Amino acid sequence: MNTGQWLGLITGVLFGFLLQKGRVLRFDKQVGAMLLQDMTIFKFMLSAILLGMVGILLLSNLEIITLSHKPMNVGAVLFGGALFGAGWAIMGFCPGTSLGALGEGRWHAVFAIIGMVAGAALYAELYPFLKLTVLAWKDFGKLGLPEAIGISQWVIVPIFWVGIIALFFWFEKKKL
Amino acid sequence: MKWKTDDGGWSPYLAGALLGLLAIASVLATTQFLGKTSYLGASTTFVRAAGILERTIIADHVASNKYYTETKVRVDWQFMLVMGIVLGALISSIMDKSFRLESIPPTWEERFGPSIGKRAIGAFAGGVIAMVGARLADGCPSGHGLSGMMQLSVSSLVALVMFFGVGVLVAHMVYGRRTP
């Protein structure tokens, strides 16, 4: 294995370890969030975002790393996002957690994994058609929120922190 | 707030915060060792896996397919990251004895009964739909939800709202409104 593969493997092991420790891999946690009964996956995800965003935006300001926004292609993000949401609810896993669920013994995740590999193959066939239709509607390109609304990221980040922490208190109060 | 859950897991706030630190360490490490900043993600690996499998049967087709060519079908950093998730979850669940062989998730069984066939069809169909969506949106809850949000990407904000909004709607239709 080359350096990239080793680095990926080590990072993945730590990622999987934390996903499992946070108890976010389970079907019931994922569907529980969508049924608005158990916010464990949001507590986990938003905590990661709060810390990660400060470090990543700072490192990018210092020009140590480069940001890599995914394109704001309107049709793609709206349509794709909706399809993903529907599939996620039925399958009860997202791509990353399906593999983790398999690791903690929830072997029924293999059906979801096979489905997702099939979905990827299907997408590869649909791609030329989508490129001429949905993907061709309107693309704002790689866009960050600070540039989009003209407000510094160091104003947005504190607002984000306050909002999310308030949400955490609400989750705890409501025992979600 | 408790640091441990009743079944020996960690508080999701703690585990999540550590994941935030891992995400920062990971962008630094990929920039340093691979010469290009890479962000945590998972769904592109499914395209590569599909390409690798298809290549064993119809190699010419994969070679001429535009999407496979653009994605570059190979076992790369992210591919091994996704494999690592399986291993990491296995290690963690064995360490705290939460490893369980489960054939039907409880919430599913409550609604659709104990048939493994039904669950297999549901999971497969959901998987196909979700992956077409994730590739169209160019990311999943890892790529958009974690990495994109950490960078304050507009597309990730919109994608996350769509993921969860439609997820809530469909989950209520599929599993019904149950009292907790």
Q: Which helix (H) or strand (E) segment is B58 a member of?
A: none
Question: Nearest 5 degrees, angle CA B142-CA B145-CA B150?
Answer: 100
Q: What share of chain B in percent tops pLDDT 90?
A: 93
Looking at residue A128, its pLDDT comes to: 95
Q: In this structure, what DSSP letter does residue A140 have?
A: E
Closest-CA residue of A relative to B145 is A45
| pTM, full prediction | 0.95
* Closest by Cβ to B163, choosing from A5, A85, A120: A85
Average confidence (pLDDT) over B7-20: 95
Tell me which amino acid residue A143 is. L
**Length in residues, chain A:** 176
Looking at residue B180, its pLDDT comes to: 46
Q: What count of CB pairs under 8 Å joins A to B?
A: 531
Give the separation between CA B61 and CA A66, rounded to whole angstroms. Answer: 35
Give the separation between CA A31 and CA B109, rounded to whole angstroms. Answer: 13
Give the separation between CA B150 and CA A59, rounded to whole angstroms. Answer: 12
pLDDT band at A73 (very low <50, low <70, confident <90, very high): very high
Average confidence (pLDDT) over A142-147: 95
Average predicted confidence (pLDDT) for chain B: 94
Average confidence (pLDDT) over A22-36: 96
- Are the CB atoms for B12 and A40 separated by under 8 Å? yes
Are residues B42 and A78, on separate chains, in Cβ contact within 8 Å? no
Give the separation between CA A104 and CA B100, rounded to whole angstroms. Answer: 7
**Predicted-complex ipTM score:** 0.95
pLDDT band at B177 (very low <50, low <70, confident <90, very high): low
Are residues B81 and A8, on separate chains, in Cβ contact within 8 Å? yes
Are residues A20 and B88, on separate chains, in Cβ contact within 8 Å? yes
Q: What share of chain A in percent tops pLDDT 90?
A: 98
Looking at residue A167, its pLDDT comes to: 97
The owner of tokens 């994730």 is: B134
The model's pLDDT over B39-88, given as tens digits with 9 standing for 90+, comes to 999 999 999 999 999 999 999 999 999 999 999 999 999 999 999 999 99
Give the separation between CA A3 and CA A10, rounded to whole angstroms. Answer: 11
Looking at residue B3, its pLDDT comes to: 82
What's the token pair of residue B147?
Answer: 């990495």
The model's pLDDT over B119-158, given as tens digits with 9 standing for 90+, comes to 999 999 999 999 999 999 999 999 999 999 999 999 999 9
**What 3-state DSSP class applies to A151?**
coil
Give Cβ neighbours of residue B25 (< 8 Å, ≥ 6 apart): none
pLDDT band at B176 (very low <50, low <70, confident <90, very high): confident
Name which of A64, A83, A143 to mutate to probe chain B: the one with the most chain B Cβ atoms within 10 A of its Cβ. A83
The owner of tokens 């993903």 is: A84
What's the token pair of residue A167?
Answer: 């949400």
Q: In this structure, what DSSP letter does residue B4 have?
A: B
Average confidence (pLDDT) over B154-173: 97
What's the token pair of residue B84?
Answer: 């690592």
Q: Is the pLDDT of residue B178 over 80?
A: no
Q: Is the pLDDT of residue A132 over 70?
A: yes
Give the separation between CA B103 and CA A123, rounded to whole angstroms. Answer: 28
Q: Which helix (H) or strand (E) segment is B85 a member of?
A: helix B77-95
pLDDT band at B19 (very low <50, low <70, confident <90, very high): very high
Task: Count CB-CB contacts under 10 A for residue A28.
Answer: 19
The model's pLDDT over A158-173, given as tens digits with 9 standing for 90+, comes to 999 999 999 999 999 9
Q: In this structure, what DSSP letter does residue A141 have?
A: E
| B153 beta partners | A144
pLDDT band at A61 (very low <50, low <70, confident <90, very high): very high
* Closest by Cβ to A56, choosing from B77, B124, B150: B150
What's the token pair of residue B91?
Answer: 């290690």
Average predicted confidence (pLDDT) for chain A: 96
Which chain B residues in 72-101 lie under 8 Å from chain A, judged by CB atoms? 75-93, 96, 98-101
Helix runs in chain A, H state only: 3-21, 27-34, 40-61, 74-91, 95-103, 109-132, 145-149, 153-173
Q: Which residues of A touch B159 (CB under 8 A)?
A: 70, 77, 80-81, 84
Q: Is the pLDDT of residue B179 over 60?
A: no
